[in-house]
Chain A
């Protein structure tokens, strides 16, 4: 493993992607009742695929970072005309927009968000932070004249 390739920005993205994936199997919505609770995760009926999209997008980001850092795979410089920094920013923003939308959405008063939702929300924010860190790092890098 070539760890020297993993920048702080990529560590944030990799960690956030992993957290997002794990959290997706935890409770997204929670319906408590005396003595217990009914829960649904992002892969359950009624939530899959729309609530699973942030997981897939975050997973793709983490996979790209992981493949470049550990798999020694050379990626093309651009994807669909976008630099990889732009791709990460766009995917991270889409993740956070979706999670924000779920947060704002009205739900029956008895239904609450579970730990999985909050972890996914935090991971989505971390993905944006990681993507912005990548862009900031690229801008600081000295360019050849």
Chain B
């Protein structure tokens, strides 16, 4: 085990991913969670992206497990950036979609999706990937 203390970007993704997983069992739309009929799997994509990102950080950085350096030609930093930005995009998508009164679960998913995007962008700076700035 070769773990280290999480950086601010990693912490952002870990907290957002965890919060999104928990919130996925709360009401998202019309009294249904993201795992219920009529909402799954469109609404479940947000917490799924968050869990994938948080799981990678937990496995590699905190537990010290070595994963392959690249997946399909993408570095893990690029995968975080892509998943984070897509989660942010879907979060804005849900924010602007008229689903009636938005329950707390949907607000947490929206905030989590935006936090994933922020965390992924910040990670590029922390790890000096040169992707941003």
Q: Mark B115-133, 1 if CB is under 8 A from A, else 0.
A: 0000000001000011110
From residue B123, how far is it (CB to closest CB) to chain A in Å? 12
Q: A50-B97, A53-B89 are in contact. Are A80 and B131 (CB under 8 A)?
A: yes
Apart from A80-B124, A105-B40, A107-B38: 16 A-B pairs, beta carbons within 8 A: A46-B98, A47-B97, A48-B98, A50-B93, A50-B94, A53-B90, A80-B85, A81-B77, A82-B81, A98-B45, A101-B44, A101-B45, A102-B42, A104-B41, A106-B40, A108-B38
Q: Which of A52, A80, A104 has the largest count of B CB atoms less than 10 A from its CB?
A: A80
From residue A115, how far is it (CB to closest CB) to chain B in Å? 20
Instruction: Select which of A49, A94, A98 is within 8 A of B97 by beta carbon.
Output: A49
Mind listing 23 A-B residue pairs with CB under 8 Å?
A: A47-B97, A48-B98, A50-B94, A53-B90, A53-B93, A80-B85, A80-B124, A81-B124, A82-B78, A82-B131, A86-B73, A86-B74, A90-B82, A90-B86, A97-B45, A98-B42, A101-B44, A101-B45, A104-B41, A105-B39, A105-B42, A106-B40, A107-B38
A107 and B48 CA atoms in complex are apart in Å by 21
B132 touches A80 (CB 8 A): yes
Q: Mark A10-54, 1 if CB is under 8 A from B, else 0.
A: 000000000000000000000000000000000001111110110
List the interface of chain B (C-beta within 8 A of A): 37-42, 44-45, 73-74, 77-78, 81-82, 85-86, 89-90, 92-94, 96-99, 124, 129-132
A46 and B82 CA atoms in complex are apart in Å by 26
From residue A106, how far is it (CB to closest CB) to chain B in Å? 4
A51 and B43 CA atoms in complex are apart in Å by 11
B97 touches A80 (CB 8 A): no
User: Contacts of A49 on B, CB cut-off 8 Å?
Assistant: 92-93, 96-97
Count of A interface residues, CB-CB < 8 Å: 23
Q: A81-B81, A81-B124, A90-B82 are in contact. Are A101 and B99 (CB under 8 A)?
A: no
From residue A90, how far is it (CB to closest CB) to chain B in Å? 5
Closest A residue to B92 by beta carbon equals A49
Closest B residue to A83 by beta carbon equals B73
User: Contacts of B93 on A, CB cut-off 8 Å?
Assistant: 49-50, 52-53
B38 touches A106 (CB 8 A): yes
A48 touches B96 (CB 8 A): yes
B41 touches A48 (CB 8 A): no
A102 and B78 CA atoms in complex are apart in Å by 26
